[in-house]
Amino acid sequence: MCEDRILDALDVPGVRVAQWDQFKEKAFVVYKPKKISEDQIEQLVADAGHDTERFIASDEAYGALADCCLYRDGCPGCSEHNGHQGDEEHDHEGHDHDEEDR
């Protein structure tokens, strides 16, 4: 499911080839830089719910993934507990975390 979602997100003008390597959990993309940038490509993947090296999927996009596609550690659905936004406590949609939850 993840592979299909990512490849569908990359099926845009300017992307010539997109392949998913499930073992490396990375996409291989051949693209035309005059039509699309690396940032735009990574943003497409993040918009589909998958974090990239430069972009973090919104909690809403990530939360829409099937359970088998969830990859973040800690709080399911929270970008804060994937090492991207620090380790401070947070309250997110009716649940909170403290030191014991980490």
Condensed to tens digits (0 to 9), the pLDDT of residues 82-91 reads 444 444 444 4
CATH topology of domain 2-86: Alpha-Beta Plaits (3.30.70)
pLDDT tens digit string along 33-80? 999 999 999 999 999 998 899 999 999 998 888 887 788 875 555 555
pTM: 0.69
User: Rounded to 5 degrees, what angle do the CA atoms 33, 38, 39 make?
Assistant: 125
pLDDT tens digit string along 22-40? 888 889 999 999 999 999 9
d(CA 79, CA 58): 7
Q: Where are the domains of the chain?
A: 2-86
